[in-house]
Every structure is written in structure tokens, then in C-alpha cells.
Chain A
Amino acid sequence: MRLRLTEDEAAFREEMRTFFTTEIPQHVRDTVAAGRHVGKDDYVETMRTMNAAGLAVPNWPVEWGGRDWTPLQRHIWHEEMQLACVPPPLAFNASMVGPVIANFGSQELKERFLPATANLDIWWAQGFSEPNAGSDLASLTTRATRDGDDWIVNGQKTWTTLGQHADWIFCLVRTDPEAERKQKGISFLLFPMDSPGVTLRPIELIDGSFEVNEVFFDDVRVPGDLLVGEVNQGWSYAKFLLGNERVGVAPVGATKRALATLKQTALDLGHLDDPLVAGRFVELENELLALELTALRVVAHSADGKPHPASSVLKLKGTELQQAVSELAVDLAGPLSLATGSDTVPEWAALAAPTYLNLRKASIYGGSNEIQRQIIAGTILGL
């Protein structure tokens, strides 16, 4: 057993800390720190800055801009980024479609897309969920049928996060409706969002924000060379992608920072003198510490880059704590949390309720927490 970082690891952490706190534009970090929505330009500027330093896509193969880091280095990179209030590289690019293309795509697709994806020259949208395929994703019905060398896509995707900014979409489409198992007839297709027949409709969320969209496909023509890997093998690529999604989905650093910011506010307002309030901070800090240490255990013992089964614990508990911190913020704001439209109450209080409402999503996306419990009960406990 050993707790301390090695000298090299400690130096790496210092290097990351310095980079994130000095190279990322302050106005972007201020936006994240305040809990405001991050705009497209801020995402692009940040990811390009990171890409120029070779820090945008460390999980990719080295020849496409990845870094040959240990799991612990990746963890440190991710934590320091969050602690410094830096918006992470766009997940659809860096964690989802990029690794899929790098692992399963043709050389031509790699050359065409990977550099632009790493630099956020292309903004990708995720076309997975459908109105009738949520947790049961393999039930998706969006169809792609052959027309010569092309594919013709018809159907609908939903919950397409930040699709309003997207240049391209990666989609799971059904290419063999007759397949023995529903997982067997799915392919992984790429196409531009401005293709004729693509319609995007924003969905307003309960906090008034516009983060997600419905995307409709009406006879969208997609050239055959934009199918990743092999026909009808899309489900295995999707599983690979979702495995990556679950690893990054426990926002330990960001939640720690949010709690620390809230604690400072509570301290300034004298709320920490109330033992009931102080007790809630103590319990949350402690659970977050336990979560972070669990993440470190998973990182230290994950083999071959495959997600550790306990990563389901990270998603489950990580989102619960993220939500609990937002709940504490609303409670501290009290009646001021109603004043969301006011420009006289402090910003943290005005944002508390919308943030709390917005974060109800966290236990639903990335494999709902019920799916995570199913995985823990089935895969780990053998129930």
C-alpha cells in the first residue's frame, strides 16, 4: 500500500495544475465557476487551447494525438481540469466518436475526421436515444436502407445534447431489421447535420435551458463510406463507447469545487455556525472523499483500459452527490432561490434552483442509476 504520489506523478500533477490555471482563458473559467452555461465559443476556444498543448484527447491512440499515460495520469488530468473550472473537451468528440473512429474506422475515416474532431473544428452530436429507446437502447428503430452505395436514413433521435451547435452527428441506425437479436442489426453512421432531410427541434428543459434536442431524419442520403467499421456491428462499437462514457461520468472534481464554493458562501453568510448546516457540509465532503478514493482504486487497478465493474458505483454515487450539493445550495438560498429572474439577489442564489432542477438529469443520463444498480446487482453481486 502506498498513498503518496511518486515524484514523477507529483510533477505531472503540478504541470497539469499550472496549465489549466494559466493557459485557459479566465473568462471561461469564471463562467464555469459561477455555474453559468458554457457557450459554444468558450468550448471551442478551450478545446483548441488544450489540443495545441496535446491535452485534448489523451485517451486516443498516440498517432492521433493521444498520450501514452497511465490510468492515474489520466485521472489527474481530469481532476485538475475540473478543479480549475475548465470545461472538459467536448465529450461527443473526445470520449465518444473519436475513440470509435480511431479503433474501428477505416484509415480514410481516421485521416478525414480525427484531427478535426480533436480540434473541435467539427462539433459532433450523439444520435443514440430515441423516443422509444432510452435505457433499452438496442430497441432503436431509426432505419438506414441501401440505395446503391448510399444509405437512406429515416427516423428520429432525441435528447441530442447541444445538437444546436453540431456540424455532424454520429448515429446508431438499424440496418437489418430481420436480425436474430435486436443488437445484431445496428450500424454506426456519420453524416452532416445540414444534410437535406435533417430537422432539429430544441427541447426546453424544466430550468428553462435549451441543452437537448430532437432530431428528425426524412430520407437523409448518406454516402456509404461514412459507415464506421462493418455493417451490423454498430452495437459493439456503441458498447465500447458507453464504457468510456461511464468512466468519465463521475464528476468528482467538479462536485468538490462546487461544494467548496458553496462552503465559502455559507461561511461568508455565517451559515456554518448552524450545526445542522455544518453537518451537511461535513457529510458531503466525506462522501465525496470516499468517492474520489474509490475512483483512485478503480484507476489504480483497471486492466487494459477496460472499465472496472466498480465504475458503476462511481456513476451512481457520483451523480447522487452532484445532486446533493445542488440541493444544499437551494436550501442555503432559501426563499432567495425563488428569485431566479432577479438581478439584485446574489448570482449563486439566483442560479441555485435552475441548477438543482437541471441536475435531476444526472441520475438519468449515461446509463440511468437504475441501470447502474442492475449492473452492480447482476455483474458484481451475481443476483
Chain B
Amino acid sequence: MDFTLDEEQEALRDAVRGLLKGYDPAVDAERRRQVTAEDPGFDEGLWARLAEMGLLGLPFAEADGGMDAGPVEVAVVCEEIGRVLAPEPYVASVVLAGGLVAALGSDQQRADLLGGLAAGERLLAYADGEVAEPVIQGARADTIVWHVGGEVFVGDRPTGATAYRTHDGGRAARLELDRSTVVPLGDGGDVSEVVALVTAQARIAACHEALGAMDTALRMTTAYLTTRQQFGVTLNRFQALTFRAADLYTALELTRSIVTWATMVAAESDDPAAVRTAAARAKLQTARAGRLIAQEAIQLHGGIGMTAEYAVGHYTSRLTAINHWLGDARDQVATLSADLAAHTVLDPLEA
């Protein structure tokens, strides 16, 4: 039982944190606004640097151009991305679309697609359904991985797709499948089980991104409470405010525990069902805590939190987006309700 990172993982975290430092809204509040104001809504230069560091191929086999790392390393990267609210589509492109290629693709497909993704030369997007919307970075991606009725196809981005802005500063598009332009990923046929597992892995990664964002939102809020003055004193003199901050800390720590646990399950378990359930549990807790922290971060700031110039509201927007992406709380409750009678007590060590 060990919830801590090893030395190599800590080094990875420090390296990613160092790379992203200049993108931290707390360091440069305008940079993210400028980047997200124009298509594609993220910084292609930073994307290239993530590729140079090997992060875009992190979870893939070395033979496919990857780094052969596991869920813990992916979690480390996602948390740092969330911490500074980097708009780069890491989970969508690398963990989800790339993860499907890694799990299903033929040797040739993996070499082409993952090699290009890892090198920062080919952006992947994931589309769910014949008519898919919103497809994250669907108008910018070079290659679309389609999930349709349990089967997975791959093909070039359809022509004519146009990007629109999502409320969190990202980009998405509506895509329609043209079967004449796609081929099966790998052997084809029903691969719902694989899709469910990779989606669960992406769900856990998204929870880590949310965790990083929640951590920053709380940190900004407590910093504000200790500096902002009203009635001649700093706001932390008002117990009505500090007690709410204590509740946010409680929610954050519970979420950190369950999300970290889900990553350990993903790293250690051979049972896809256990990983899916752990992902659902992490996502549910993240949705609850994410909403609470996102709302309270603005409320405890007051009016300044509503402004686009100030970063905290963007954290609220991003946390809201993550909550409703890859299955929201309602979906997770439904999934977990179906399993209620299958266990007496939950045993986190037996997952």
C-alpha cells in the first residue's frame, strides 16, 4: 500500500511542471486567453514540445514510437495539465484516440498513427457514433478514430468540418461518418469490450486532469481569502468563508484518494471489469467534488471570479466540461446502481 510517486515519476512530474510553468494562468493570465481565442484553441508550439519530451507517446509501446509507460505516468502528466488549465487535448487525443489505436490497431496502423501522434505530427480525435458531436478537436485532427455500434474504424478527417469554440476554451466539431473513407482499426468486428476499457482509462486520466484543476482552484481561493480585504480585515477572518474552504479541502482529498486508487487499479489489475468500475467510481466522485469546488471557488472570490480576465472562472468552466465528458455523474450512478447487489461491502484492496 503506497500512494506516493517513485523517484522517476517525481522527476517526470517536475519536468512537466517545469515545461508548463510559463503557461500557468497564475504566472501569465493573458496567455491562455490569447491561445484559446484563435483556432485550434491550443498552442501548437507547446504540443511540439510535449512531443519532444516523449509525452505524446508516453503510454505506447516503444516499438510504436512510444515510451512504454503506464497509467501512473499518464496520471502525472494529466494532473499537471489540469493544474495550469492547459488547453492541449492530451486525454482526448493521446489517452483515448491513441489508446484505441494501441489496443486495436494492426502493426502498420500502430506504427503510422502512434508514430505520428508521438512525434507531434498527427493529431488524433475520437468520434462516437455515425454523426458525432461534440468531437473534441474534430476539425483540427488529422485522423479520426470512430466508434460506431461496437466497431471501431479509422480514417482521415472528413472534409468540410468546421470548429466551434466550447465554453472551456477548447474546440469541437460535428462529424459525419463516410464509410467509404474509413477502414476497420485492426481486424474489425465487435470490440465493445476494448472500447469500454480504453474509455475507462481515459476517464481516469480526465479525473487526474480535474484533480489538478481543483487543486489550483482551491489554492487560488485560499490565497485570495488571505489577501483580499473587506470591512478593514482580510477575508480569512470570516469563519463563514474559512469553513467553506475546509469543506472544499475535504472534498479534494477524498477525490485525490479515489482517483489515485483508480489509477493503481488500472496499473495493477488484469480484470477489465475492475478497471471500468474503478473509473466509474473515480468519475462520480470527481463530478461531485469538481462541481462543488468549481462553484465555491467563484463564490468565495466574489465578483472578480466572474470575469474572463481572472483565471478562477476558467477553472470552473473547465471542471464543468470535464464533468460532462466521458460520462457524467448520472451515467456513473446508473452504471454503479446496476452492480449494487453484486457485493456486500466494497473492498478497495481486492479490486
Chain A interfacial positions (CB closer than 8 Å to B): 1-5, 9, 72, 83, 256-257, 259-260, 263-264, 267, 272, 275, 278-279, 281-283, 285-294, 296-297, 299-301, 310, 313, 316-317, 370, 372-374, 376-378, 380-383
Contact = CB atoms under 8 A, between A and B. Distances in A.
A351 B335 CA distance: 32
A316 B285 contact: no
Given A1-B2, A282-B333, A376-B250, A290 B257 contact: yes
Majority DSSP secondary structure for residues of A touching B: helix
Interface in B325-351: 333-334, 336-337, 340-341, 344-346, 348-349, 351
Contacts of A3: 1, 261, 264-265, 267-268, 348-349, 351
B346 A278 contact: no
A376 B249 contact: yes
B4 interface: yes
B254 A382 contact: no
Contacts of A377: 236, 242-243, 245-246
A310 B253 CA distance: 9
Interface residues of B, number: 48
Contacts of B345: 83, 256-257, 259-260
Given A2-B2, A373-B243, A377-B243, A382 B226 contact: yes
A317 B254 contact: yes
B1 A72 contact: yes
Contacts of B4: 1, 301
A361 B5 CA distance: 39
A301 B247 CA distance: 22
B3 interface: yes
Interface of B: 1-6, 9, 72, 222, 225-226, 236, 239, 242-243, 245-247, 249-250, 253-255, 257-258, 260-261, 263-265, 267-268, 281, 284-285, 288, 333-334, 336-337, 340-341, 344-346, 348-349, 351
B258 A264 contact: no
Contacts of A382: 222, 226
B246 A288 contact: no
Contacts of A1: 2-6, 9, 72, 260, 263-264, 267
A292 B348 contact: yes
28 contacts: A1-B2, A1-B5, A1-B6, A2-B264, A5-B1, A259-B345, A272-B341, A275-B334, A282-B337, A282-B340, A285-B340, A286-B281, A286-B285, A290-B257, A291-B257, A293-B261, A294-B257, A296-B1, A296-B3, A297-B3, A301-B4, A313-B249, A372-B246, A382-B222, A382-B226, A383-B222, A383-B236, A383-B245
Among B1, B236, B257, B351, find the residue whose CB has the most chain A CB atoms closer than 10 A: B1
Contacts of B348: 3, 289, 292-293, 296
A260 B344 contact: yes
A14 to B, nearest CB: 12
Contacts of A374: 239, 242-243, 246
Contacts of A257: 345
A291 B253 CA distance: 9
Given A376-B249, A381-B246, A382-B226, A289 B1 contact: no
Contacts of B265: 3
Contacts of A272: 337, 340-341
A371 to B, nearest CB: 11
B340 A281 contact: yes
Contacts of A287: 254, 285
B340 A278 contact: yes
A118 B216 CA distance: 47
Contacts of A4: 1, 268, 349
B260 to A, nearest CB: 7
A4 B1 CA distance: 6
Nearest to A2: B2
A373 B247 CA distance: 7
Nearest to B72: A1
Nearest to A300: B1
Contacts of A5: 1, 349
A279 B254 contact: no
B299 to A, nearest CB: 16
B71 to A, nearest CB: 9
Given A267-B341, A272-B340, A313-B250, 16 more contacts: A1-B72, A2-B268, A4-B1, A83-B345, A256-B346, A257-B345, A281-B337, A282-B340, A286-B284, A291-B254, A294-B254, A296-B3, A374-B239, A376-B246, A377-B236, A381-B245
Nearest to B222: A381
A278 B334 CA distance: 9
Given A1-B3, A383-B236, A286 B258 contact: yes
Nearest to A3: B264
Nearest to B283: A286
A275 to B, nearest CB: 6
B333 A283 contact: yes
B254 A313 contact: yes
Contacts of B333: 279, 282-283
